[in-house]
């Protein structure tokens, strides 16, 4: 219950209640976008300043390698599971959504660890950036395969035009997404400026951070509550995956963190990243790359169920598991 006493979490709960009550409370989209960019910029700067102090150590390389491993393992595992009761397009889209990461969930976890006094490497922000794109590439490849199979089954007259999404263009969109680019750019600036930059940016990247996060989580609570309706009438297996998939993915990350000898804090953040699901960057790309997939599924599941679960229950549970087993 201690996590619920955090003001940022309470603002998220308040936003969900207001949304469920169908209140007209709303955060203008421009302000919401600004808050998202601010949080990513502040997080990137913190990670860059930390990397400037520590350098590219073995711990950093191990964490980044673990992040890449989970970025491939989660979408592949998700696709295999989802394909049992979904068509190839919806399975690929949902697997990409859950194989990628939620920056806000990660930022909330970082704040939670700070509040609990748990040490972690700020380079985990770089791990988050690395985990953004592999799932998108895998999903596009899987969707292209599904299209080829469908055309082959339809007969030789239709195999000439597969309608495959151009992987190069999709990869470019994934790697140059504005939010991810800002995170990486801010991290590089933090590395280049070091201690002097950290002192100069402290009022921006530290003092304002908690209040901005609370404001943004209020908006996320409103948005999550208003997207729950998209899940009405959906298969119970989809709802089970939206709530059961995150702990499963987090458990795999815990095993990997244990095997690699990662610290409690870094493993907990790896678990959060593996358990989170993208609801901004990946849905935006997938909507164009896999138009056959239903946005109500991958967007509704990630924002309507998985995001609230992780914010309210998942983060403290993942930390407790890391503390117990490492």
Q: What is the pLDDT along the chain (326 residues), one digit of tens a residue?
A: 455 568 888 999 999 999 999 999 989 989 988 998 898 899 889 888 888 887 778 889 999 999 999 999 999 999 999 999 898 899 999 999 999 999 899 999 999 999 899 999 888 988 888 888 888 888 888 888 777 777 676 655 444 444 566 666 666 666 666 777 888 899 899 999 999 999 999 998 888 988 999 998 999 999 888 888 777 777 889 999 999 999 999 999 999 999 999 999 999 999 999 999 988 777 777 887 788 888 888 888 999 899 999 999 999 999 999 999 98
User: What is the Cα–Cα distance from 326 to 320, expressed in whole angstroms?
Assistant: 10
Q: What is the pLDDT of residue 3?
A: 54
What pLDDT, on a 0 to 100 scale, did the predictor assign at position 164?
A: 65
CA distances from 91 to 27, 168, 302 (A): 32, 22, 14
Distance of alpha carbon 144 from alpha carbon 160, whole angstroms: 14
Query: How far apart (Å, rounded) are the C-alpha atoms in residues 264 and 260?
Result: 12
> How would you label 260-272 residue by residue, b for 16+ Cβ within 10 Å and e otherwise?
bebbbbbbbbbbb
Buried b (16+ CB within 10 A) or exposed e, 210-249: eebbbbbbbbbbbbbbbbbebbeeeeeebeebbbebbbbb
Residues 6+ apart with CB under 8 A from 62: 260, 261, 262
Measured distance CA(183)–CA(150) in Å, rounded? 39
Q: Residue 122 phi/psi, 5° resolution?
A: -65, -15
Instruction: Give the distance, in angstroms, between the CA of residue 198 and the centroid of all CA atoms in the same chain.
Output: 26
Query: Do 190 and 51 form a contact (C-beta atoms < 8 A)?
Result: yes
User: Which residue ranges make up each domain of the chain?
Assistant: 65-149+165-178+218-325
Task: For 102, list phi and psi in degrees, rounded to 5.
Answer: -105, 115
Given phi > 0 = left and psi -120 to 50 = alpha, else beta, which region is 259?
A: alpha
* Confidence (pTM): 0.87
C-beta separation of 274 from 249 below 8 A: yes
Give the burial class of 192: count Cβ atoms within 10 A of its Cβ; 0-12 exposed, 13-18 middle, 19 or more buried: exposed
| 3-state per-residue secondary structure call for the chain | CHHHHCHHHHHHHHHHHHHHCCCCCCCCHHHHHHHHHHHHHHHHHHHHHHHHHHCCCHHHHHHHHHHHHHHHHHHHHHHHHHCCCCCHHHHHHHHHHHHCCCHHHHHHHHHHHHHHCCCCCCCHHHHHHHCCCHHHHHHHHHHHHHHHHHHHHHCHHHCCCCCCCCHHHHHHHHHCCHHHHHHHHHHHHHHHHHHHHHHHHHHHHHHCHHHHHHHHHHHHHHHHHHHHHHHCCCCHHHHHHHHHHHHHHHHHHHHHHHHHCCCHHHHHHHHHHHHCCCCCHHHHHHHHHCCCCCHHHHHHHHHHHHHHHHHHHHHHHHHHHHHHHC
What pLDDT does 47 receive? 83
């Amino acid at each position: 219950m201690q996590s619920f006493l955090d003001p940022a979490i309470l603002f998220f709960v308040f936003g969900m209640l207001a949304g469920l009550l169908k209140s007209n409370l709303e955060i203008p989209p421009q302000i919401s976008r600004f808050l998202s960019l601010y949080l990513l910029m502040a997080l990137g700067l913190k990670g860059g300043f930390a990397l400037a102090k520590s350098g590219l150590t073995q711990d950093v390389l191990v964490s980044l390698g673990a992040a890449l491993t989970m970025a491939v393992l989660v979408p592949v595992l998700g696709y295999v599971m989802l394909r049992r009761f979904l068509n190839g397009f919806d399975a690929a889209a949902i697997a990409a959504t859950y194989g990628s990461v939620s920056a806000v969930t990660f930022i909330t976890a970082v704040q939670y660890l700070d509040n609990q006094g748990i040490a972690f490497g700020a380079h985990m922000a770089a791990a988050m950036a690395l985990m953004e794109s592999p799932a998108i590439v895998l999903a596009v490849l899987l969707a292209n395969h599904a299209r080829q199979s469908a055309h082959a089954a339809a007969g030789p007259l239709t195999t000439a035009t597969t309608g495959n999404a151009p992987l190069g263009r999709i990869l470019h969109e994934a790697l140059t997404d504005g939010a991810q680019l800002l995170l990486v750019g801010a991290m590089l600036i933090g590395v280049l400026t070091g201690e002097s930059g950290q002192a100069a940016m402290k009022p921006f990247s530290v003092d304002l951070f908690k209040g901005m996060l609370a404001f943004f989580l209020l908006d996320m609570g409103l948005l999550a509550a208003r997207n729950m309706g998209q899940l009405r009438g959906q298969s119970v297996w989809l709802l089970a995956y939206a709530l059961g998939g995150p702990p499963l993915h987090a458990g795999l990350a815990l095993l990997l963190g244990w095997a690699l000898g990662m610290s409690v804090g870094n493993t907990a953040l790896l678990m959060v990243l593996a358990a989170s699901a993208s609801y901004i960057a990946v849905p935006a790309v997938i909507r164009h790359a896999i138009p056959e997939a239903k946005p109500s599924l991958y967007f509704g599941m990630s924002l309507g169920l998985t995001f609230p679960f992780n914010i309210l229950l998942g983060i403290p549970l993942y930390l407790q598991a890391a503390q117990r087993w490492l």
